[in-house]
Structure formats: C-alpha cells, structure tokens
Structure 1
Amino acid sequence: MPRGEKDKYTEKQKRKAEHIEERYEQKGVSKSEAESRAWATVNKQSGGGEKSGGSGKKTSSSEKKSARSDSARRAAKTRQGHSRTSASSLETQTKESLMKEARSRDIKGRSSMSKAQLIEALRK
C-alpha cells in the first residue's frame, strides 16, 4: 500500500486515482499494485498533494505548458521510428503490411510474391 496520508490531495486527484486504480484492476493487476500505480500517476501528473501544507512545489503555467510541449515533441519523435521502407523496417513488417506498401506503389505480380520477394521488390 502506498505510504503517506492522502488528506492533502484534492477531491479531483482522489477521483482520478480511484479511476486509474479501477482500470488497472480490470487489467488483472493486484489491488495493492493498482493503488500504488494510480497514486504514482497522479503524483507525476500533478506534482503531489495540492492542498496547503503540501510539498510546496509550485509550477507556473508557462513551465507546465513548456513541459507538455517538450513531452509531445519527444512522443512524436518516438512515433516516427524507422521509415517504412528502410532495410530494417521492411524485415520487421508483416507480409500483409508489405503487400499494402507494394499495392500503393503498384508493383506488378505482388499477389503471388513471398515475403522475401516483396521485401526485395520494395527495396528497388
């Protein structure tokens, strides 16, 4: 069970933690682990208890906006990954996705090609 009193949290934070905890339990996580994860998530998102007498950590709205922007930028960069036609990317794709790529490039004879043949045709 998480340590510490929950008195310093707002009602909104408590509801949020409860909702997160329920979702983890639905996924099969134990009650205590779900509770720990839920409060860790709430703490990470809001910086802990918000009522007076808390940690004293105050973040300006401009700092929060900047942090969100930086986070979004990092997430977008992560999603980009490898280009769809890089050598390593072609090897890891399913035959179905390779077939879609071949269809978009109008490669002739694609329906009878094996995965290896599709990769070779897409590299050309």
Structure 2
Amino acid sequence: MPRNAWSAKRERQYEHIKSSLQQRGTKKDTAEEIAARTVNKERAQHGEAAKANPKTLRDTPAPVRGGQRSHQGAQGRTREQLYEDARRKGIAGRSKMNKAQLAEALKR
C-alpha cells in the first residue's frame, strides 16, 4: 500500500470506508484491504497513480456506478469477473465462452 503517496482526501476516504466496513461487521484486516484497494482504484481512475491496470481505467467509477454490481439478483457477476475466476481455476476454452457458459463451467 503506497499510503505515503495518498493525499489528505484519499486518507480520509480510506478511513471512512474502513470504519463503514467495520461497523457492518467486517474483520479489521479485511476492511483495511478493501478500503486500500478502493482508494487505489479511485486514484488510478482519476490519474493520481503512476501505473494503472487498463481494466481499472475503463471501469465506471464507484460513485457513478452506485451499487450496480452488488452481485445480487439475476445479473450476478460480470463476464470479466467470471473470466478471471475461470483463469485462476485453469478452465480450458474460457476465452471463447460467454457469461452463461463461464458461470456453468465454474459451477462444476
């Protein structure tokens, strides 16, 4: 975590996210990790980071997205998220699969 590179605003954002998660019952270590990842992603999307993942730059910022992908309901995870899970599990043919096929392959 390059927290020494964070501005005062990002530091406040980190603390706010962390305390919010802890109030909802998330363990301290997990809350810190999620908060740091969120702040780092926001920094990258706003051009404050030296290096950024291209997927991060293409993604809709969290304040704009507003819980669109809360992973609940009929839509579930995005195709990219399913693809990354399939990649981690070493599922063959994943690049040619659509969202439904990836979800089915991950269930096996």
Fold match (TM-score > 0.5): no
TM-score (norm 2): 0.44
Question: Taking CA–CA contacts closer than 8 Å with sequence separation of 6 or more, which of the two structures ends up with the larger relative contact order?
Answer: 1
TM-score (norm 1): 0.39
